[in-house]
A and B are shown apart, each in its own frame.
Chain A
Amino acid sequence: MTYANSAQYADPIRLRLRRDPHAVQITLNGERVELEEPMSVTALLARLEIDPRRVAVEHNLNIIKRHRFAEVVVGDGDTVEIVNFVGGG
């Protein structure tokens, strides 16, 4: 089987990964998301246009304190949960 044939059926995210060796795949709120490079929680929130003062972030099951958002780096294969308050009783 040639490379071209297998590529036809491959996951587009994987193909993009081949083109960009720095790209990382993370699981964000249960969905697979690709980032062009590892980045801090602060950078990730900025990318998502989320106000860091109103959310809580869990990185690989560890809760990240807000004052550590800038130093914690999200890398390939990581799982991130970003939660906020919604209406409830």
Chain B
Amino acid sequence: MTDTPFVIAGRTFTSRLIVGTGKYSSNAVMAQAHQASGADMVTVAVRRVNISDRTRESLLDYIDTSRMFILPNTAGCYTADEAIRTARLGREAGLSEWVKLEVIGDERTLFPDNEALIEATRVLVKEGFIVLPYTNDDPIACRKLEDAGAAAVMPLGAPIGSGLGIQNVNNIRIIREFSRVPLIVDAGVGTASDAALAMELGADGVLMNTAIAGAEDPVAMADAMRHAVIAGRLAARAGRIPKKMYASASSPVEGMVGR
């Protein structure tokens, strides 16, 4: 079954799985996991250079930038201004207009601050950014982000790093119906079935970090996620059977021996 290409803002990606670069036990393990995931887009954070660390080991030494598209994030930003400033710095460091926009509203849940997120989206879109906002699983917020010019909407499945899986399946369905831009489920995935479910609900892609980086075997989990996203996508396009209350025999009821 040939699929439609995964396109965001005119750029085509071969994989519908987007992976992070945080929390790995080592950069070498990360590089192996990236390879196994099949992803061609990775997220990175923008932080101060450690002036006193003279080793100067760079994350970019472990990312195959000929294959991987780098998506800088604004993780850790709590105001629109902070996020805008970080996005601009990320643009200079990476020389691309793309940003995974995060404006966090609360430290314990890391839930986004919708109002500030929409405001920052509006400002950055005007400056020519391709904005991919990490948002609540709220169809209205997603609609407002799309109206503000977001290139995709990225609702959370569950809190960042929680591994709880998709908590509001119905909202993701509604967001799918509402959205004309790509829908990427970002955060909350714990295991392969969560990623498959996201795709079955109609997501165009899934973004995850902790589910892979925090697994006992990150490379094996990355491989599992690659398959899950492919399987979920195929299932969504194949068209599942309706759920029924009672059994419906798979084998013929006629021709039974001795009847």
Question: Given the complex, which residues of B lie within 8 Å of A11, measured CB to CB?
Answer: none
Asked if A84 and B93 sit within 8 Å, CB to CB, the answer is: yes
Asked if B51 and A89 sit within 8 Å, CB to CB, the answer is: no
Interface residues of A in 47-86 (CB under 8 A from B): 48-51, 54-58, 63-66, 81-86
Contacts known (A49-B56, A56-B89, A56-B92); A85 close to B51, Cβ less than 8 A? no
The residue in A51, A85, A88 that gathers the most chain B C-beta atoms within 10 A of its C-beta is A88
The A contact surface, by secondary structure, is: strand
**CA A81 – CA B49 in complex, angstroms?**
9
The residue in B56, B160, B187 that gathers the most chain A C-beta atoms within 10 A of its C-beta is B56
**CA A84 – CA B89 in complex, angstroms?**
9
Q: Does B1 reach chain A (CB closer than 8 Å)?
A: no
Asked if A87 and B20 sit within 8 Å, CB to CB, the answer is: yes
CB distance from B95 to the nearest CB of A (A): 8
**Interface size grouping (class) on chain B:** 35 or more
Asked if B209 and A89 sit within 8 Å, CB to CB, the answer is: yes
Asked if A48 and B89 sit within 8 Å, CB to CB, the answer is: no
Contacts known (A30-B48, A81-B48); A86 close to B88, Cβ less than 8 A? no
Asked if A86 and B45 sit within 8 Å, CB to CB, the answer is: yes
Question: Given the complex, which residues of A lie within 8 Å of B43, measured CB to CB?
Answer: 88-89
Q: Which residue of chain B has the shortest Cβ distance to A66 in the bound complex?
A: B92
Q: Does A43 reach chain B (CB closer than 8 Å)?
A: no
**Which one, B6-14, B70-78, B162-170, B231-239, is touching chain A?**
B70-78
Q: Which residue of chain A has the shortest Cβ distance to B72 in the bound complex?
A: A85
CB distance from A48 to the nearest CB of B (A): 6
Q: Which residue of chain A has the shortest Cβ distance to B86 in the bound complex?
A: A83
The B contact surface, by secondary structure, is: mixed
Q: Does B59 reach chain A (CB closer than 8 Å)?
A: yes
Interface residues of B in 192-215 (CB under 8 A from A): 207-210
B58: which of A54, A64, A88 is its contact (CB, 8 Å)? A54
| Chain A proximity mask over B1-41: 1 for CB below 8 Å, otherwise 0 | 00000000000000000001111100000100000000000
Question: Given the complex, which residues of A lie within 8 Å of B92, measured CB to CB?
Answer: 56-57, 63-66
Q: Can you give 30 contacting A-B residue pairs, CB < 8 Å?
A: A48-B49, A48-B51, A50-B49, A50-B56, A56-B90, A58-B89, A64-B92, A65-B92, A66-B92, A81-B48, A81-B89, A83-B49, A83-B93, A84-B49, A85-B58, A85-B70, A85-B90, A86-B21, A86-B22, A86-B44, A86-B45, A86-B59, A87-B24, A87-B30, A87-B44, A89-B22, A89-B75, A89-B161, A89-B187, A89-B210
Mark B residues whose CB is within 8 Å of A. 20-24, 30, 43-49, 51, 54, 56, 58-60, 70, 72-73, 75, 85, 88-94, 160-161, 187, 207-210
Mark A residues whose CB is within 8 Å of B. 28-31, 33, 48-51, 54-58, 63-66, 81-89
